[in-house]
Amino acid sequence: MDYTTQMDAARKGIVTEQMETVARKENMRVEDLMARMAKGTVIIPANRNHLNIDPEGVGDGLRTKINVNLGISKDCCNIDVEMEKVRHALKLGAESIMDLSNFGKTREFRQALVKESGAMIGTVPIYDAVGFYEKNLSDITADEFFKVVEAHVEDGVDFLTIHCGMNRRTAERIDKHDRLTSIVSRGGSLLYAWMKHNDAENPFYEYYDRLLDICEKYDVTLSLGDGCRPGSIHDATDAVQVQEMIELGELTKRAWERNVQVMIEGPGHMALNEIAANMVLEKRLCHGAPFYVLGPLVTDVAPGYDHITSAIGGAVAAASGANFLCYVTPAEHLRLPTLDDMKEGIIASRIAAHAADIANGLPGARTWDDKMSQARADLDWEAMFSLSMDEEKARAYRESSKPEHEDSCSMCGKMCAVRTMKRLKEGKNIQLDD
């Protein structure tokens, strides 16, 4: 092999199979794709050990992608249930799955997930470390943290979320700043606690080159985690969040020097009017690296409906520069999501992603909508169902309330405007009482 990573290949002018696949999916010339990959503004997460991957590109000029979180925990450790979620997530069109497992047979689940999924797979190794070693967080050594990372990449994980920006400088900013919700990132809080207990630097920051060695060897994308993402709209765009983003920008340049692909993770909770500016800030401070956002959730008062608060923020974020949306389910802040919760979250995120692609003028994005509009104008229900983002739900709604006449619905009946105009164009009389 004449290259180490997809970025290295792009910089050397080598067209890989993954690049050809992504260029075809995106209706893009492979030369244009390679130019963006060489600069770091587009990535193709594809671990060499993930043999069945159907690669996707993430970054500027490409379709907005979505990620689904799942995994086993101490309270919900049924691998079969989580694998059923995997199959449904793939069926519903998720391009990425993150395994957030932190208890029990985590490696067994991860290996099964990689084998089952053609979508790209991400993990957060520090979640796994405590359960893996069965000892207190503060007693885990730097070497032990890295051994867990190596196990994940050996299993075929395509991208790793690691909170390298949670260093001493960032921690000092947290200590001085009066945040309402402090640290809400699980990985960020674990590393912050480890640093405090051991009076030591974050090992993933201190030994960052060792992490890059691992990523380069397996061509694993580094997803630089947002340990200081705002957990409330009160804390959005504060000095703590920005301090970490500055650190992530410097780490991005160091990764690119090694041809390691990078994406940046971002907020969190954020008022609607702050989102666009935050996207610009990230792109500027992190040199155009792809931006992977959780939400942003635009209000804090809708538990049970946070898939909606997230989709609102996600649409604005993706229309303003974000490239990758992490789904949020109605169960966010409340419990581990069920299969139905997961479905609601996926559809909400896909709506946000597609709406942003339309707003961004992505070639072909409107074609799907135009086909649906034509089906509606024709009152072609079967075509409408087949074009629906969730065909099953659309059919169920239609069947639950059948109209008197097939060329209408139970909302308007014969007074349906589309029916009226269609009949006029066909030269038919409009009789509302027949």
pLDDT tens digits for range 283-305: 999 999 999 999 999 999 999 99
Query: In this predicted structure, what is the pLDDT of residue 166?
Result: 97
Give 217-248 pLDDT, tens digit per residue: 999 999 999 999 999 999 999 999 999 999 99
Q: Do 261 and 331 share a domain, yes or no?
A: yes
Q: Say how many C-beta atoms besides its own lie within 10 A of residue 225's C-beta.
A: 27
Tokens describing residue 301: 């008062």
Q: Do 58 and 195 share a domain, yes or no?
A: yes
Comparing 97-106, 119-128, 192-201, the range with the smallest average pLDDT is 97-106
Q: Do 145 and 109 share a domain, yes or no?
A: yes
Distance CA 34, CA 29 (A): 9
Q: Do 38 and 135 share a domain, yes or no?
A: yes
Distance CA 169, CA 166 (A): 8
Domain count, the chain: 3
Give 87-107 pLDDT, tens digit per residue: 999 999 999 999 999 888 899
What Å distances lie between residue 146 and 126, 197, 203, 210, 303, CA to CA?
9, 19, 9, 8, 36
Q: Do 386 and 426 share a domain, yes or no?
A: no
Distance CA 4, CA 200 (A): 33
* Residues paired with 266 in a beta bridge: 293
Q: 101 Cβ partners below 8 Å, 6+ apart?
A: 71, 72, 73, 109, 110, 123, 127, 128
Distance CA 376, CA 386 (A): 12
The pLDDT of 318-337, averaged and rounded, is 96
Query: In this predicted structure, what is the pLDDT of residue 132?
Result: 84
Give 422-432 pLDDT, tens digit per residue: 888 888 887 76
Distance CA 124, CA 350 (A): 23
Distance CA 244, CA 10 (A): 29
Q: Do 385 and 338 share a domain, yes or no?
A: no
Binding-site residues for Zn(2+), in ranges, read: 269, 333
Query: In this predicted structure, what is the pLDDT of residue 133?
Result: 87
Q: Containing domain of residue 354, as a range? A: 6-359
Element (H, E) at 270: none
Query: In this predicted structure, what is the pLDDT of residue 424?
Result: 85
Distance CA 138, CA 199 (A): 10
Binding-site residues for [4Fe-4S] cluster, in ranges, read: 409, 412, 416
364 found inside a domain: no
With bands split at pLDDT 50, 70 and 90, how would you rate the model's confidence at 434? low
Tokens describing residue 121: 């797979």
Binding-site residues for substrate, in ranges, read: 69, 98, 127, 163, 185-187, 226-229, 265, 292
Give 19-33 pLDDT, tens digit per residue: 999 999 999 999 999
Percent of the chain at pLDDT > 70 equals 99
Q: Do 259 and 336 share a domain, yes or no?
A: yes
Q: Say how many C-beta atoms besides its own lie within 10 A of residue 5's C-beta.
A: 25
Give 342-384 pLDDT, tens digit per residue: 999 999 999 999 999 999 999 999 999 999 999 999 999 999 9
Q: Do 134 and 244 share a domain, yes or no?
A: yes
Query: In this predicted structure, what is the pLDDT of residue 72?
Result: 82
The pLDDT of 396-415, averaged and rounded, is 83
Binding-site residues, in ranges, read: 69, 98, 127, 163, 185-187, 226-229, 265, 269, 292, 333, 409, 412, 416
**pLDDT surpasses 70 at 433:** no
Q: Do 388 and 304 share a domain, yes or no?
A: no
Query: In this predicted structure, what is the pLDDT of residue 403?
Result: 82
Q: Do 253 and 185 share a domain, yes or no?
A: yes
54 found inside a domain: yes
149 found inside a domain: yes
Q: Do 104 and 19 share a domain, yes or no?
A: yes
- Looking at 359, 389, 421, the residue that finishes a domain is 359
Query: In this predicted structure, what is the pLDDT of residue 406?
Result: 79
Query: In this predicted structure, what is the pLDDT of residue 414?
Result: 79
Query: Dihedral angle at the C-alpha atoms of 353, 37, 54, 123, nearest 10 degrees?
Result: -80
Q: Which residues of 188-198 are buried (b: 16+ CB within 10 A; e: fewer)?
A: bebbbebbeee
Query: In this predicted structure, what is the pLDDT of residue 195?
Result: 97
Q: What is the pTM of this model?
A: 0.94
Q: Do 200 and 138 share a domain, yes or no?
A: yes
More confident residue, 402 or 166: 166
Average pLDDT, the chain: 95
The pLDDT of 396-414, averaged and rounded, is 83
